[in-house]
């Protein structure tokens, strides 16, 4: 057994928002690995980056993903950088993974100043472009299917995924 569906995609693609709506529709629990990491660390993600650095965050993220992929009957949203880890990409092979796609312009609008996302600080649009370009092949590699999210309400996206899950 494992999660009903796992959402991947860049920051601002709507993974956390859509997963919560999807969980409501499917009457399942919503699990988000960033929330699990914050609970385990007892502090918000920006503080983890400042206090311990990105490698420590990635190690916590990997542990959170291993645990979450063993949870039954949950709708799981990962962090945007989760797929950088080759072990995570391998683990995702057996799961129903959906890539929430988003354009650079739309993602930039949605994340705003990016204060909750340490990797985007500085020039948000440039950071976002670099990480979206570098990660796109990984999102496509792990996903069973891709859902475009530009100009679509989170409710519509959740409805499409429910329909596709059958």
Ligand X SMILES: Nc1ncnc2c1ncn2[C@@H]1O[C@H](COP(=O)(O)OP(=O)(O)O)[C@@H](O)[C@H]1O
Determine contact, residues 116/47, Cβ cutoff 8 Å. Answer: no
- Tell me the binding residues for ATP: 12-17, 117, 152
The reply on whether position 17 binds ligand S3P by CB under 6 A is no
Nearer to ligand X, 1 or 128 (CB): 128
Determine contact, residues 131/122, Cβ cutoff 8 Å. Answer: no
Distance CA 10, CA 70 (A): 23
Distance CA 99, CA 111 (A): 18
The residue assigned the tokens 């995570």 is: 88
The reply on whether position 114 binds ligand S3P by CB under 6 A is no
Select the residue interacting with ligand S3P from 6, 7, 23, 45 (CB under 6 A): 45
Distance CA 64, CA 53 (A): 17
Which region, judged by CB under 6 A, interacts with ligand S3P, from 18-26, 85-93, 94-102, 113-121? 113-121
Select the residue interacting with ligand S3P from 18, 19, 119, 124 (CB under 6 A): 119
Sign of CA dihedral 15, 104, 83, 47: negative
- Tell me the binding residues: 12-17, 34, 58, 80, 117, 135, 152
* Shortest CB 109 distance to ligand X, Å: 8
Binding region for Mg ion (CB under 5 A): 15-16
């Amino acid at each position: 057994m494992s999660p009903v569906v796992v959402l991947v995609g860049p920051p601002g693609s709507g993974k956390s928002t859509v997963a919560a709506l999807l969980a409501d529709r499917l009457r399942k629990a919503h699990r988000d690995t960033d929330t699990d990491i914050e609970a385990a660390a007892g502090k918000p993600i920006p503080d983890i980056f400042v206090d311990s650095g990105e490698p420590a965050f990635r190690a916590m993220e990997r542990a959170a993903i291993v645990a979450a992929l063993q949870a039954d009957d949950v709708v799981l949203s990962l962090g945007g950088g989760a797929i950088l880890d080759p072990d995570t990409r391998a683990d995702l092979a057996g799961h129903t993974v959906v890539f929430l796609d988003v354009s650079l312009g739309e993602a930039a609008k949605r994340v705003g100043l990016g204060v909750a996302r340490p990797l985007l600080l500085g020039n948000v649009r440039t950071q976002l472009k670099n990480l979206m370009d570098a990660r796109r092949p990984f999102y496509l590699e792990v996903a069973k299917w891709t859902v475009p999210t530009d100009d679509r309400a989170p409710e519509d996206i959740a409805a499409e995924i429910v329909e596709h899950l059958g």
